[in-house]
Amino acid sequence: MDRTVRTVEDVLTLLDGLFASESQADRGAATGDGRSFWDGFYADRSKPVPFFAAKPDENLSDCLNRGVITPGRALDLGCGPGRNALYLAAHGFDVDAVDLSPVAVAWGEERAAEAGVDVRFLCGDAFALPVIASSGRYDLVVDSGCFHHLPPHRRVSYLDLLDRVLAPGGHLALTCFAAGEAGMGSERSDADLYRERHLQGGLAYTPESLRWIFSDLEEIELRRMREEPPESQLFGVPFLWTALFRRDAAGS
C-alpha cells in the first residue's frame, strides 16, 4: 500500500500518471512524460512538417516590427529546433531555449552555429530545470505549441512558472490551438479528459478560456494567426490563436 501524496506537486505528479499509457505527443510537452515521442518526432528532419522550417512565427515578427516587444532576456518554452529562438537572438535578444527532446535541442544548436547566433539551449522539464529558476527574470516568454499539449492540471505549474520567471512589465507571446470553425485540437471538457485519460493530441482553447486562464496578465492582443504562403520567411497557419499578454509593471 503506497501513500504518495503530501504536497501539491505530488498531486500533479499523480494526475500526470492518468495519462501515462498514452504514446502520443500529448503525454506532455513541457514535462518528462513526452520525451520519447518528441525524440522520434524530430529524428527525421525531412518530414514535411510546416514548423520544421527555420521560420519565426508571424505574430512574433509583427510584434517586434511594431515595437510592441523590444530586445531583452527571452525564454522560449518547448523551443523544438529553435526557429523562434534563433530569430530573437538575431534581433538582439539574450535567449534561453528549453525543450524536452535532446534530438530537438541538438538540431537547434546546429542551426544556431550555422546562423552565427548565440542561444543557450537547455534540455529538460521546463517546470523543474533549476537553471531556469535561478537565472533571473525574463522580459519575454515565448510559447509556440507547448501550452496546448499540457494536461489541465499542469496549467497550475505553467502559471506558477510565469509568476516566477516573467519580469514586471514582461510579455508572454503564446500560440496555441484554436477552438471553433477552422480551428484544431480537442474541445472536450477538462472533466472528460480525465474520464477518458486521453488528451486527444492537444487541447483547443477559446479566446474566453485564454483570457480567464491568464487573467492575472494584461491582454495586449489575441487573434488568429495569419496564414503565410510557403515562400514566406514567416510561419503562419490560421488554426492557431496568437496572444500577447503583459505582466503588470509593478509585478502583480
Q: Which three cell numbers stand for residue 157?
A: 505549474
Instruction: Supply angle C-alpha 23, 25, 30, rounded to 5.
Output: 120
Q: Which residues contact 163 (CB under 8 A, 6 or more apart)?
A: 216
Question: Using one digit for the tens of pLDDT, what is the confidence trace for 186-219?
Answer: 999 999 999 999 998 899 999 999 999 999 999 9
Cβ of 108: how many Cβ atoms within 10 Å?
26
Instruction: Tell me what pLDDT residue 1 has.
Output: 76
Q: How far apart are CA 252 and CA 216, in angstroms?
A: 8
Instruction: Tell me what pLDDT residue 26 has.
Output: 43
Give the global pTM. Answer: 0.91
Instruction: Tell me what pLDDT residue 132 has.
Output: 79
β-sheet with 119-123: strand ranges across: 119-123, 94-99, 73-77, 138-144, 166-177, 240-246, 218-224
For the cut 70, the answer to whether the pLDDT of residue 240 exceeds it is yes
* Domains of the chain, first to last: 8-43+53-246 (3.40.50.150)
199 contacts 26 by C-beta, under 8 angstroms = yes
Q: Which three cell numbers stand for residue 236?
A: 503562419
Question: Using one digit for the tens of pLDDT, what is the confidence trace for 33-71?
Answer: 567 778 887 878 888 878 888 999 999 999 999 999 999
Q: Which amino acid is at 74?
A: A
Q: Which of 10-24, 109-123, 132-146, 183-197 has the lowest mean pLDDT?
A: 10-24
**Average pLDDT over the chain, rounded to an integer:** 91
Q: Which three cell numbers stand for residue 196?
A: 477518458
Instruction: Tell me what pLDDT residue 106 has.
Output: 96
